[in-house]
């Protein structure tokens, strides 16, 4: 029987008797107890940086509808998944969850490849992993550049001292297979890089047959699917894609945190044939593949996986797989069509006139000459807490970008965006008539 326990919790702790029970009352637990430990005043220096007052106020996050090119909102199921208890990053219960994710990603990428995993980091981390594993200094990479993502890939490849060759198309346009083949014949690259959904312009690059074309000329094909995977058809194996990556916060509607990525056997052979080690330890696909249980050898500690984000992705994939790719693809198509129709009814023009060249996941709308694009995006946010964005890179100042991704891709959200756009445009008209 232990009636009273002495605990050194600080001088404000007290043991009170309530009836027959002893109750420990803790009013302040973080005071220094010189008798039982802690630093003596003479051991402590004067602190120039006091405890920040701001952190005593509670975290305040407004609820917004994110209809830009990412991130998209996550369903509650995904948020709840992140509340599950933390596990160690190599506990069997956790590695089982990683295995489930690999199954989900194989379905989403439509691949039977063994190297399917995630980089801990956002879409850019997927891009950097692709570049730094496939290229050694002076290797030639051909970048099909029609927006900011091709520019970024070229920039990264230059930092890795690759020999970067670029073929270019105007913003909003896409490459034909013949144009890409002409580039390959001219530049003889080891790696060809294309972007499926160019979210800076809204363009959708056709990929069918590109893998075969690259392989015929001894190159591997790398594809950025960050803004498109899950929203439009993608078949890694059938299309002969060698490396593909995406991001968790776009169509998958999980929080930004990871970049799902897959390497084909051909891409892995290229990695194994490197003369020099991969220059980034963190992005080394052979390490990542081991940690994700893709190489048939016991998992080793590479880095601590983002445990709660992994739960979130597991839940997001389970939602996507429940719905099925065919339904996901057609939902994105029909919502985008409703958006196109509504925008045209408002007298607005789309940045890309050929509908077959548009990705349904990101719609780019031309800003009329008489309209201040930023005032319109502000109207969306200030009056409705709805995000739409302006242009990026080659489309900056010329367009608005509306994202229809995953959880947010609904007819109701399309109608809401159209309603707000109508209001915002009439506000602009009022301002113009006052001038």
Between 250 and 331, CB nearer to ligand PLP:
250
Distance of CA 242 to the CA centre of its chain: 20
Shortest spacing between CB 175 and ligand PLP, in angstroms: 15
Residue 430: burial class (beta carbons within 10 Å; 0-12, 13-18, 19+):
exposed
Nearest Cα to Cα of residue 253 among 388, 67, 75, 52: 75
User: Which residues make up the interface to ligand PLP (CB under 6 A)?
Assistant: 69-70, 122-124, 149, 195, 197, 199, 224, 226-227, 247, 256
Query: Closest separation between CB of residue 191 and ligand PLP, Å?
Result: 17
Task: Give the nearest distance from C-beta 71 to ligand PLP in angstroms.
Answer: 8
Shorter beta-carbon distance to ligand PLP: residue 151 or 163: 151
The residue of the chain with the least Cβ separation from ligand PLP equals 123
> Is residue 401 a known part of a binding site?
yes
How many Å apart are CA 301 and CA 88, to the nearest integer? Answer: 11
Closest CB 243 distance from ligand PLP, rounded Å: 14
- In angstroms, give the least distance from the CB of 231 to ligand PLP: 11
- Is the Cβ–Cβ distance between 401 and 390 less than 8 Å? yes
H/E stretch holding 120: strand 115-120
Cβ closer to ligand PLP: 251 or 414? 251
CB of 72 or CB of 95, closer to ligand PLP: 72
Using the minimum distance from each CB to ligand PLP, give the nearer residue, 303 or 383: 303
- What is the DSSP secondary-structure string of 21-72? EEEEE-S------TTTSS--GGGSPPPSSPPPGGGGSPP-----EE-SSSPP
Q: How far apart are CA 221 and CA 264, in angstroms?
A: 10
Residue 415 vs residues 124, 340, 373: alpha-carbon distances, Å: 32, 11, 20
CA distance 198 to 181: 20
Instruction: Give me the least distance between CB of 357 and ligand PLP, in Å please.
Output: 15
Q: CA–CA separation, 415 vs 402, rounded Å?
A: 12
Do 67 and 403 form a contact (C-beta atoms < 8 A)? Answer: yes
Q: Indicate the residue among 69 and 211 with the shorter CB distance to ligand PLP.
A: 69
Which residues are annotated binding-site positions for substrate? 401
Which residues are annotated binding-site positions? 401
């Amino acid at each position: 029987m232990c009636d009273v326990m002495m605990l050194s919790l600080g001088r404000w702790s007290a043991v009170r008797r309530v009836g027959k029970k002893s109750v420990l009352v803790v009013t302040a637990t973080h005071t220094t107890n010189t008798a039982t430990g802690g630093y003596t005043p003479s051991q402590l220096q004067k602190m120039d940086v006091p405890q920040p007052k701001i952190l005593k106020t509670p975290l305040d996050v407004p609820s917004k509808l994110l209809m830009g090119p990412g991130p998209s909102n996550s369903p509650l199921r995904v948020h709840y998944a992140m509340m599950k208890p933390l596990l160690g990053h190599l506990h069997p219960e956790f590695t089982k969850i990683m295995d489930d994710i690999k199954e989900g990603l194989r379905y989403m990428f439509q691949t039977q490849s063994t190297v399917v995993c995630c980089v801990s980091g956002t879409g850019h981390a997927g891009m950097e992993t692709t570049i730094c594993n496939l290229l050694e200094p002076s290797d030639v990479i051909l970048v099909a550049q029609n927006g900011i993502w091709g520019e970024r890939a070229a920039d990264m490849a230059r930092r890795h001292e690759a020999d970067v060759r670029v073929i270019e198309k105007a913003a909003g346009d896409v490459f034909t297979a013949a144009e890409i083949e002409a580039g390959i014949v001219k530049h003889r690259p080891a790696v060809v890089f294309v972007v499926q959904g160019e979210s800076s312009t809204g363009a959708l690059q056709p990929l069918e047959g590109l893998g075969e074309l690259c392989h015929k000329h001894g190159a591997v094909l790398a594809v950025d699917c960050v803004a498109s995977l899950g929203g439009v058809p993608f078949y890694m194996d059938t299309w002969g894609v060698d490396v593909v990556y995406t991001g968790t916060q776009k169509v998958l509607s999980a929080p930004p945190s990871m970049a799902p990525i897959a390497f084909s056997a051909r891409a892995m052979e290229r990695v194994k044939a490197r003369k020099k080690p991969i220059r980034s330890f963190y992005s080394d696909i052979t390490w990542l593949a081991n940690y994700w249980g893709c190489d048939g050898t016991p998992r080793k500690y590479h880095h601590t996986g983002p445990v709660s984000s992994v739960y979130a992705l597991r839940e997001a994939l389970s939602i996507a797989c429940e719905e099925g790719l065919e339904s996901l693809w057609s939902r994105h198509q029909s919502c985008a069509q409703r958006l196109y129709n509504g925008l045209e009814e408002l007298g607005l023009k789309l940045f890309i006139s050929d509908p077959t060249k548009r990705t349904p996941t990101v719609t780019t709308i031309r800003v009329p000459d008489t309209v201040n694009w930023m005032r319109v995006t502000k109207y969306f946010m200030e009056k409705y807490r709805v995000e739409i964005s302006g242009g990026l890179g080659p489309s900056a100042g010329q367009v608005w970008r509306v994202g229809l991704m995953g959880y947010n891709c609904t007819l109701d959200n399309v109608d809401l965006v159209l309603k707000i756009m109508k209001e915002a445009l009439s506000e602009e008209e009022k301002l113009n008539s006052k001038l």
